Amino acid sequence: MRTIALFLMAALLLAAPEVWAQKNKTAAVARLDPAKAEDAVKIMRKLQSSLKDDEDVVYWWEGSVYSRVPGEKDRLLFTYQAMNIRRSATVTDPEKGYGYRMVSRELLFYQDPQTKEIMRTWKNPWTGKEVEVIHIANDPVNSRPTFAAANSANPYKLPGTFKDDMFLMTFEVPLFYTNPLAGDYQEYVGGTYQAMEIFNFACDANDLLDANKNTAEKAIVAWNRVSKWLPWMEMGDRTGQLIFSGLGKKLKSWDDLPEVVKKEIKANYPAYVTAPPTNDERPNETSWTVFKKYIDAKRQKK
């Protein structure tokens, strides 16, 4: 019996490296494949939100806002703190296959560049007028479903590049649409909103491709925007534009937001503690539509 026991023990010891290698092989297989349409959609979903339905994910970033006027030196007008809270849900289609839809709310608080306090009023250096600061509070900012469409002529392809141990992605969003504050004759006199938003993402590749993780926590985001004057600045048709620049990351939870942001949300924007429900069908809001509602409500009180 002792001989048999020793023989079995030796066999197990000899087999151990092979068993370990098999386990490693199994672990290595548990990775998402960017070349497969369905996995590519899941990779994008992990970067943007979470593979777990209705799980809130928070992106935070901070930056600066400059003015640019021909013939003038660029001015630092504001710094800012911003956040977007989002969630997604799985959607499927008989032809397009696996997909997801993401919903979100976003905030951007303008700060005094020196004190870093959230601004309530601002003295316009061009007009000399003191105006009320209207922070960005867009609810909702939802997206259309993204599908793998794996069996179609144009299956989903991941927009980005894997380089060494990183995933890098950039995309530009040129905006050109009728200004919600425009009148009925803008085709004759103009009245469009034109801007460019640029998003850059960087993420740890292993974190992103790990099929056992619902979200990619090690994600960095950079955001830039070139746009016209903000309507609350009351600049009318003065020549010039604004340049926004910012950098941030995906947070582990809402509680990881800076204290100044959490305090402002709890006091004045309580809905932003969570994302909208994934069946939210409201039309999206922009800085312009929110300002229009603000002006309309203000005029009704008069």
Q: Per-residue pLDDT tens for 251-262? A: 999 999 999 999
pLDDT tens per residue across span 254-294: 999 999 999 999 999 999 999 999 999 999 999 889 988 98
Q: Comparing C-alpha atoms, which of 201, 165, 148 is closest to residue 39?
A: 148
For residue 189, give the DSSP letter.
H
CA dihedral 233, 237, 241, 242 (to 10 degrees): 10
158 vs 28, 42, 171, 255, CA distance in Å?
Answer: 21, 10, 12, 31
Give the model's pLDDT for residue 192.
Answer: 85
pLDDT tens readout for residues 85-136 = 999 999 999 999 999 999 999 999 999 999 999 999 999 999 999 999 999 9
Distance CA 275, CA 271 (A): 8
DSSP state, residue 210: B
The two structure tokens encoding residue 248? 């941030």
| pLDDT band, very low/low/confident/very high, at 9 (cuts 50, 70, 90) | very low
Contacts of residue 144, defined as CB under 8 A and 6 or more positions apart, other chains included, come to 101
Q: In angstroms, how far is CA 129 from the centroid of its own chain?
A: 34
pLDDT, mean over the chain: 90
- In this prediction, residue 26 carries a pLDDT of 46
Rounded CA-CA distance 135/80 in Å is: 10
pLDDT, residue 8, reads: 39
pLDDT at 183 (0 to 100): 79
Spatial contact of 228 and 193, defined as CB atoms under 8 Å apart: yes
Does pLDDT of 72 surpass 60? Answer: yes
More confident residue, 152 or 189: 152
Q: What is the pLDDT confidence band of residue 245, given thresholds at 50, 70 and 90?
A: very high
pLDDT at res. 4: 44
pLDDT tens column, 157-168: 999 999 999 999
- Nearest alpha-carbon partner for 37 in 172, 124, 146: 146
pTM: 0.88
DSSP run (H or E) holding 270:
none
DSSP string, 56-105: -EEEEEEEEEEEE-TTS--EEEEEEEEEEEEEEEEEEETTTEEEEEEEEE
**Of 183 and 240, the one with more pLDDT:** 240
Q: Between the CA of residue 129 and those of 121, 125, 134, 136, what are the distances in Å? A: 10, 8, 15, 21
